[in-house]
Amino acid sequence: MKLQRIAALTKKELKKTIREPAVLFMIFLFPIIFVFAFGASFGGVGSSQTVTYHIGVVNMDHGSSVNASQTFLAALTDTKIINVHVYADNQTAQNDLSQGNVQAVMIIPSDFSQSLASYQAAPDNPAQWTNTTVSLYSDQGSLVATQAIPPIIQQTLTAMAGNNQQTSSPFQMQTASLAEVKTTSALDFIAPGMFTFASIFLIMMVAQSFTQDRENGMMKRMRITPTTPTEFMASQVISYMGIALIQAALVFAMTYALGFRPSVGISAYVFAFMLVMIFSVSNVGFGLITATISKSAGAATGLSFLFVMPQLFLGTFVGASLSSGAQVAGKFVPSYYVTNALTSLFLRGATINSPAILLDFAIMSVSCVAILTVGVALYAKYYKV
Amino acid sequence: MNESSIVIEHLGKKYQDTTALEDFTLQVGKGELFGLLGPNGAGKTTSINILCGLVKPTTGTATVCGYDVLKESAKVKELIGVCVQETAIYPYLTGVENVQLFGNLHAMDKAGLNARRNMLITKMGLTEDAKRRAGKYSGGMKRRLSLILALINDPQIAFLDEPTVAMDPQSRHAVWDFLKELKTEEKTIILTTHYMEEAEELCDRVGIIDHGKLIALGTPKELIAKNQVNNLEEVFLKLTGRTIREEA
């Protein structure tokens, strides 16, 4: 393998990206415009579908004669919206929250039963009540979780008091952010998906590039030189990884300008950029598959949406309220794991070496290499490289 | 004939029901400029594609400088230069950048590449436009650039597939002059064309191919004399009953 050839082809590919107006727009300007448009106008996420929220519960209630916390948890389960997972300690629950395994963690205080008993003994005399506080930590990577779960718990607590008309009760609910206390905007929720989003359109670029080179005889000319298929494909992968890196930098700059300020260190950013670069490998693979089945560059543009759309809709809005079917389907596209890892990193406060991020990273890396391998094999079988 | 640069024995190529090449046998000597003539679809490009290692023959064998085109294609690619029929250049690169790219693909050293690049660009009359994007070139300029890309690695054997098609007369004569110069450097050139005057002007020997079969072989003068006609165009007409520009 000669680096001279790989460097020359990589340079050529980057020049193409900069000099071809259509490519320049699709790869760089479109994601920036998209981020700006969404960031500036995105007003929230709504859904009419019934979904289930998984919450972790650390029950510290010491009630003996009347265990009110059990009644409370049963009432939550009866809502059919909340799925309760009981944890022995707060640390384990918080770990699962940071990994995205549950969407909220609720701490039931030790005097919960006592508080309910005091209320039932003197419902009209607040001075006799033993006031207590239920703490709730929501998944900051999920817009829906932060907005939907607290009211459900609050309503159930109010119902526990036995009088829905009465607004005062001894139970207070305190919501807490897993990360530092800050206001989370809609932009924060969509930003991780934006990083992923930008790179997805490489599929179209790769497919168009290969079909165009095939149509105008460049691929044939390339095959007549001593350039090996490995050198050629290496140059393609390096080029598109570089482009993905630039895209990620541009998207980050735009989201930063719009107010996206995740409370993470520089290593998290480096890791995020690396994720996006590796993710671009799958897009080269999908692009090659598209080029294999496309007769012309025009057809490649249309057919590339077969891969662009699932990656886009199933994989870039992980924090949004997708249907359960879509959530399952999302796990079959690499973009899901990139967005999920970025969400864990930027919004849930998970560390780079946390199991959830490492798992996402591993699944994404393996799938990207597999997709590239399939793409190269298919293209080589039908057209040669 | 000198030592053979190209040896083709009983070469055949079938595409499903179509026979593109049939029992094609030929030897081309070192330093020879050999013309492969025939109408569109006669089998000229198929022959060249096989010799370049782009297409696998159905039957027969071929060697280039002693290397089997099937088994030793990597070695063959180091020794050849090919001007493909399509005007295959990168339109978003300048003329110089296109040449530089292909020089690097042949792993040429920097000094050698720069010297040969400048020489070829000058000879092909592209000096003034060398730093313009190739996509803005005229058709003739693109063909000349395509020829430079084929020859940048100073190949032992050049396969030129219709190099002057769609060229203006001035460009065509510039190419002719350059090919004559290459002959003096002992380079072997295989030229396909359906311009008979081009073959008469340049080629040491010509082979006329029709429907995938070699139907005549010799120097232009020999073929003209043997068939008692005035030029190669009439040789083809006499042998096939058609003019070379009619569809087969």
Contact yes or no for B86 and A216 at CB 8 A: yes
Question: Which tokens is B29 given?
Answer: 């000597």
Query: How does pLDDT run across B67-93, given as a tens digit for each residue?
Result: 999 999 999 999 999 998 888 999 999
- Residue pair B147/B163 in contact by the 8 Å Cβ criterion: yes
- Judged against a pLDDT cut of 60, whether residue B48 lies above it is answered with yes
- Is the Cα dihedral A371, A373, A374, A380 positive or negative? positive
For the segment B176-205, the average pLDDT, to the nearest whole number, is 90
Among A84-88, A345-349, B16-20, B186-190, which is the least confidently predicted range?
A: A345-349
**How do strand A104-108 and strand A132-138 relate by DSSP bridges?**
antiparallel
Q: Does the beta carbon of B54 lie under 8 angstroms from any beta carbon of chain A? A: yes
Q: How far apart are CA B12 and CA B213, in angstroms?
A: 9
Question: Does residue B102 sit at the A interface (CB-CB below 8 Å)?
Answer: yes
Do B24 and B214 touch, CB atoms closer than 8 A? yes
Whether B93 and A225 lie within 8 Å, measured CB to CB: no
Q: Do B84 and A227 touch (CB under 8 A)?
A: no
Q: Which candidate, A65, A75, A160, A58, places its Cα nearest to that of A109?
A: A58
CB A284 within 8 A of CB A196: no
- The DSSP secondary structure of chain B, one letter per residue, reads --SEEEEEEEEEEEETTEEEEEEEEEEEETT-EEEEE--TTSSHHHHHHHHTTSS--SEEEEEETTEETTTTHHHHHHHEEEE-SS----TTSBHHHHHHHHHHHTT--HHHHHHHHHHHHHHTT-TTTTTSBGGGS-HHHHHHHHHHHHHTT--SEEEEESTTTT--HHHHHHHHHHHHHHHHTT-EEEEEES-HHHHHHH-SEEEEEETTEEEEEE-HHHHHHHTT-SSHHHHHHHHHSS-TTS--
Q: Report the sign of the C-alpha dihedral through residues A353, A354, A357, A358, in that order.
A: positive
| Residue A352 one-letter amino acid | I
What tens digit of pLDDT does each residue of A55-89 get?
A: 999 988 876 555 788 888 888 888 887 889 999 89
Judged against a pLDDT cut of 70, whether residue B208 lies above it is answered with: yes
The whole-angstrom separation of Cα A118 and Cα B4 is 108
pLDDT score, position A165 = 47
Mutation target among B55, B84, B104 for the A interface, most CBs of A within 10 A: B104
Using the structure block, give the residue that is written with the tokens 């000597």: B29
The whole-chain average pLDDT of chain B stands at 91
End-to-end CA distance of chain A: 15
* Burial of A89: CB neighbours in 10 Å, binned 0-12, 13-18, 19+: exposed
Shortest distance between the Cα of A224 and any Cα of chain B, in A, equals: 6
pLDDT at B1: 52
Helix (H) or strand (E) holding A357: helix A355-382
Q: Are the CB atoms for B179 and B33 separated by under 8 Å?
A: yes
Q: What is the DSSP string of A152-187?
A: HHHHHHHHHTT-TT----SEEEEEEESSSS-PPPHH
Q: Which among B89, B97, B106 has CB closest to A225?
A: B106
Residue A365, judged by CB atoms within 10 A of its CB (0-12, 13-18, 19+), counts as middle
Total beta-carbon pairs less than 8 A apart between chain A and chain B: 66
Contacts of A227 in chain B (CB under 8 A): 105
What CA–CA distance (Å, rounded) separates B137 from B154? 24
B229 near A CB under 8 A: no
Residue A226 near chain B (CB below 8 Å): yes
> Among residues A105, A102, A132, which one has the least CA distance to residue A116?
A132
Helices A266-293 & A229-257, crossing angle to 10 degrees?
130
Which residues have C-beta within 8 Å of that of residue A206, sequence separation ≥ 6?
A236, A240, A283, A284, A286, A287, A288, A290, A291
- Cβ contacts of A222 on chain B, cutoff 8 Å: 105
The answer to whether A224 contacts B74, with C-beta atoms less than 8 Å apart, is no
Which residue in A has a C-alpha nearest to residue B52's C-alpha?
Answer: A224
A227 — contact with chain B (CB < 8 Å)? yes
C-alpha atoms less than 13 angstroms from C-alpha of B184 in its C-beta half-sphere: 5
- Give chain A positions within 8 Å (CB) of B97: 12, 15
Q: What is the ipTM of this complex?
A: 0.89
Q: Residue A196's Cα: distance from chain center in Å? A: 9
B36 at A interface, C-beta within 8 A: no
What is the spatial distance between Cα A8 and Cα B145, in angstroms, rounded to a whole number? 18
| Res A43: pLDDT | 41
- What is residue A353's three-state secondary structure? coil
Q: Do A224 and B80 touch (CB under 8 A)?
A: yes
8 Å CB contact between A46 and A144: no
Question: Facing residues of B193 across strands?
Answer: B37
What pLDDT does residue A115 have?
A: 82
Q: Would you list the DSSP string of A86-99?
A: EESSHHHHHHHHHT
Measured in residues, chain A has a length of 385
**Greatest Cα-to-Cα distance within chain A, rounded to the nearest angstrom:** 92
Q: Sheet with B4-15: list strands edge to edge.
A: B18-29, B4-15, B59-64, B67-68
pLDDT along chain A (385 residues), means of 10: 94 92 84 77 45 85 72 85 88 85 87 82 79 82 75 78 57 49 61 86 93 91 92 94 91 86 87 94 96 92 92 75 74 92 85 90 96 92 70
Write the Ramachandran bin of B34: left for phi over 0, alpha for psi from -120 to 50, otherwise beta. beta
User: Residues 7 to 26 of A: which have CB under 8 A from any B CB?
Assistant: 7-9, 11-12, 15-16, 19-20
Q: Do B105 and A216 touch (CB under 8 A)?
A: no
Nearest to A218 among B80, B82, B88 (CB): B88
* Interface membership of B238 toward A (CB under 8 Å): no
A295 touches chain B (CB under 8 A): no
- Residue A171 and residue A134 in contact, taking contact as beta carbons nearer than 8 Å: yes
Closest residue in A to B110 (Cα–Cα): A4
Contact A221 B84 (CB under 8 A): yes
Of A7, A11, A226, the CB nearest to B78: A226
pLDDT at position A47, please? 38
Name the token pair of B45. Answer: 């490009």
Give me the residue from B77, B80, B104 closest to A5, CB to CB.
B104
What's the pLDDT score for residue A183? 47
Among A20, A216, A226, the residue with its CB nearest the CB of B74 is A226
Contact A4 B104 (CB under 8 A): yes
A350-360 residue pLDDT tens = 889 888 899 99
Q: Which of B80, B84, B93 sits opposite A12 (nearest CB)?
A: B93
